[in-house]
Amino acid sequence: MSFAWYRRRSAASYGSTMGTGVSSSLRERTVGGLHDFILGEVLTRVSARGRRALDLGAGSGALAVRLRQLGFEILAVDVDREQFKPDVPFLPMDLEAQDLAACLGKGSFDLVTAIEIIEHLENPIAFLRSVRSLLRPEGLAVVTTPNMENAPNRVKFLLTGKLHMMDECVPCHISPIFHDLFVREYVRRAGLVVRGYLAFPPDGYKQVRHAWALSLLGRLLPGDAVPGDVHVFVLSPASS
């Protein structure tokens, strides 16, 4: 499955609305439009009929509802039961529990989503190993996380020695994920492979001031992860 064509899409194509039939009370705890982007660029291209999906770190349940609308048999998991609102199967669990995969069912899911979760965890590689164990051999995982290598972050780190979305303003973010290291080491150690990579927004930034100027700067900087506020990784189990 190739996602190389994603760069041709305009960031304006993805709004911050929830989508038809989803209650406005189910707030997306992400960059506005990220759920729409993931559904449009990845999940609507995956057959949902008769497939099981697991939404890890489900938050309010906004994405879980949309996965169910696509036709997946969905299970939502989060450490916090209070914020989860919809009538969707739910289990409260610590996402860093060593027995996470055993409790949820090893090799039981065709799709695992972890949207803006991995940066909250103490051991990202252990979490990815759990994701690998949960997936069926032909399954897919979609993992997103703030982009540490984009042009705004490079400028911020140069000037302040701090990373955007990883400073004292966001104390719950404790594990920055860097594109090169993630692709080169994290997924390999977890028994996964990268099937596709996308940036959101695909051609700019939504979370910073002077985004137009930073977009121009980004064209001069090296690396695959210069554009976008968010990394979107599409993963699958490595062949044995």
CB 179 within 8 A of CB 224: yes
What CATH number is given to the structural domain containing 158? Answer: 3.40.50.150
What is the tally of structural domains in the chain?
A: 1
pLDDT tens-digit readout, 132-172 = 999 999 999 999 999 998 887 888 888 899 888 888 888 99
What mean pLDDT do residues 7-19 have? 40
Which of 65, 64, 99 lies closest to 78, judged by CA?
Answer: 64
Q: Residue 148 is encoded by which pair of tokens?
A: 């540490």
Angle of helix 151-160 relative to helix 211-218, nearest 10 degrees? 100
pLDDT tens-digit readout, 70-117 = 999 999 999 988 889 899 999 999 999 999 999 999 999 999 999 999
Q: What is the pLDDT, as a whole number, of residue 15?
A: 44
Q: Residue 40 is encoded by which pair of tokens?
A: 């449009």
Q: What is the pLDDT, as a whole number, of residue 14?
A: 43
- Domain ranges, residue 79: 4-237
Letter for the amino acid at 133? S
Q: What is the pLDDT, as a whole number, of residue 208?
A: 56
pLDDT tens-digit readout, 166-216 = 888 889 999 999 999 999 999 999 999 999 999 998 876 565 554 545 555
Q: Give 61-102 as a DSSP string.
A: SHHHHHHHHHT-EEEEEES-STT--SSS-EEE--TT-TTHHH
